[in-house]
Amino acid sequence: MDLKVKFELEFPIQASPQMLYQYISSASGLSEWFADNVNSRGIIFSFFWDGSEEKAELISSKSNNFVKFRWLDESDDQDKCFFEIKIVVDEITKDVSLMITDFSYEDEVEETKMLWDSQISDLKQVLGSS
């Protein structure tokens, strides 16, 4: 079976780390931009898109800094793959960015990057950020 490849994306975003963290770490926040609906029971999050459900485990987080999820799927390398949304603040300019780390099959990387572009665009719209 093919293994997934890791990639990273960076998106400048005009919002405070505290506000951003609410949108990346809570089911209600994620429902506003990441998926059609999100429910959580403890560390297990259920993401709904167009009637289908995907589950992910919150494997790590730090307040106002990052969240890291692992999809609970049947892929061969599921234990090594995750997606992380990290809030990065430039020390000098104080500019805020979201750093996305994700994994995808090699032939799906560009499509997955476009999906992240779309989702971050939705997040910016929710935040009223340019």
pLDDT tens-digit series, residues 104-126: 989 999 999 999 999 999 999 99
Pairing status of strand 66-71 against strand 52-62: antiparallel
Q: How far apart are CA 104 and CA 87, in angstroms?
A: 21
Q: What is the pLDDT, as a whole number, of residue 22? A: 96
Read off the CATH number of the domain in which 109 is found: 3.30.530.20
* Residue 88 pLDDT greater than 80, yes or no: yes
pLDDT above 90 covers what percent of the chain?
84
Domain housing 68? 4-127
**Which residue spans within the chain are E strands per DSSP?**
4-12, 37-41, 44-49, 52-62, 66-71, 83-89, 96-105
Average pLDDT over residues 3-23: 95
Count the Cβ atoms, other than its own, within 10 Å of residue 106.
11
Alpha carbon 87 to its chain centroid, in Å, reads: 11
Number of domains in the chain: 1
pTM of the model: 0.91
Mean pLDDT of 17-23: 96
